[in-house]
Amino acid sequence: MFVTLEGVEGSGKSTQIERLCASLNAAGRPVTLTRQPGGCELGRTLRAILLSQKSSGLDDRAELFLYLADRAQHVAEVIRPALESGQVVVCDRYIDSTVAYQGYGRGLDVALLTRLNAVAVAGVLPDLTILLDLDAAAGLSRAMARNHAAGTAASEGRFEAEHLDFHTRVRRGYLALAAAHPQRFVVIDAAPVPELVARAVWQAVSARLGG
């Protein structure tokens, strides 16, 4: 089973993914926890480029192809083999991030992005996508506080530096994707305390786990 988590900056994905993996382990399910960008060696190099504020001059199309390159290599090297060996794969961001950020955020053509995503993933599609939905302004202030505390603003702050409008479009993009793929998406309100969000996430995942 392949589960992806999506959401705007500060929506609490990292916390929820950790909790979800702990619950899967407790249920005796072997898990591969991974992320995009940065779930394989090539991806870690690409992540450093993509998220650095030094890359502020990166062209929108160049940015797109770096995310797609990360995705193609990550699917081939990590996700497909893990699924084939019977693991539950939990991936922090996947195809929907490209549609939400490069499509709704940057303004690239969504239909084209959908086709390019299909090339990158070569048929490896999520069984379930959890969207942690949060008001963009609330998410941004959470993300800023986290980055400040961790001292990561300079190394991974490129998207947080985008204006609120950008993040509001990203959120709208996610909600449009969820409406277009109601079978695959479960939308969870990320505003409540983490315990409540975790309970909703586990409900969504365990309902689809099967034997």
Which positions touch ligand TMP (CB under 6 A)? 9, 35-37, 51, 67, 92-93, 97-98, 101-102, 159
- Tracing tokens 């797609």 back to the chain, one arrives at 68
Residue 150 vs 196, nearer CB to ligand TMP = 150
Residue 35 vs 200, nearer CB to ligand TMP = 35
Whole-angstrom distance, CA of residue 75 vs CA of residue 169: 27
Q: What is the residue type of 22?
A: A
For β-strands 2-7 and 31-35, DSSP reports them as unpaired
Residue 141 vs 203, nearer CB to ligand TMP = 141
Residue 37 vs 126, nearer CB to ligand TMP = 37
Q: Smallest distance, Å, CB 180 to ligand TMP?
A: 17
Residue 92 vs 133, nearer CB to ligand TMP = 92
φ and ψ at residue 18, rounded to 5 degrees = -60, -45
Q: Smallest distance, Å, CB 88 to ligand TMP?
A: 20
Q: Smallest distance, Å, CB 41 to ligand TMP?
A: 17
Q: Smallest distance, Å, CB 102 to ligand TMP?
A: 6
First-to-last CA distance in the chain?
A: 11
Q: Return the SS3 of 122.
A: coil
Kindly tell me the burial class for residue 125, based on how many C-beta atoms sit within 10 Å of its own C-beta (0-12, 13-18, 19 or more).
Answer: middle
- Enclosing H/E stretch for 79: none
HSE-CB of 140 using CA atoms within 13 angstroms: 16
Q: Smallest distance, Å, CB 86 to ligand TMP?
A: 25
